[in-house]
Structure 1
Amino acid sequence: MTAPETESLRPPAPAPPQRAWRTQAPIVAVVAVGGAIGATARYAASLWWPAQPGGFPWATFWTNVVGCAVIGVFMVVITDVWAAHRLVRPFFGTGVLGGFTTFSTYAVDIQKLVDGGHPRTALAYLAATLIAALTAVRLAAAATRGVVNWRQP
């Protein structure tokens, strides 16, 4: 038999798994739907602007840069301006924009360029995407904050 003092030191029992699933199911669903929308838009861009063998993958580059800029605007809007519904951020931020932007295609493009004998293009693409995407999110967030602050009385 356990002494009463030791029983009080035990952590509380975890919640039953079905309760946790019920609260997470809507989030998983909106991320999946948003991801499908974002990935479809990215795929459409790659069909519209296909990369030439050994050439700079412009569609993926601009998809990532534009997606990062939209993420910058979106995060300012939902944190500083608008009290969004709890599913908006997972749907649009994680789902749509997560499906639209792509690290995996970026990495595969770099590998294809290196394997195809175009290491300079691969390095340029690697660096340009990183710099442009980080700059886009920073500038978009700053510009959005500037507009929000300018519009406030």
Structure 2
Amino acid sequence: MDKLDAFKKSNSSLYQKYQGAFDSQPGDFSMVKMAIETIEERLLPGEEVRYSFAIARHQNKDINVYILTNKRYIYYGIRLTKKDFKSIPYDKIENIEVKEKTLTQDLEVRSKEEKITVFFISAHKKHFDEFYVFLSERQLNPVESGVELVKE
């Protein structure tokens, strides 16, 4: 049994909550788990995770985790010696921009105070679509958008 399978059994509720992040980077279980533990500590009262996604960059030995909750968009990145936490409440989103590049689609979300950019490669098309739709709906109606992501 590998680490991820053991974690699924020992902490199934946390795995289910962040399944998208764990499943999008199954080979980077330890880094994703470390990021998730920090994000859990920073969730607001009543905040519920709707969707999560993780991207590892092995050449830089870092991990980036993106979380959509019922209240805000969260980014948490871990690099060798640096950790970075950003969040944008949905009612503060000013701009959502898609930048088409040769190998990626970049989804840039801005508020006056923050900017969070996530890079999706072609294999992540499903994740890109879900993030874009969810964030666009929340920008238009941050309180009662009614958009729920379906977990498969």
Structure with the higher strand share, 1 or 2: 2
Give the TM interval when normalised to the shorter protein: under 0.3
Larger Rg: 1
Structure with the higher helix share, 1 or 2: 1
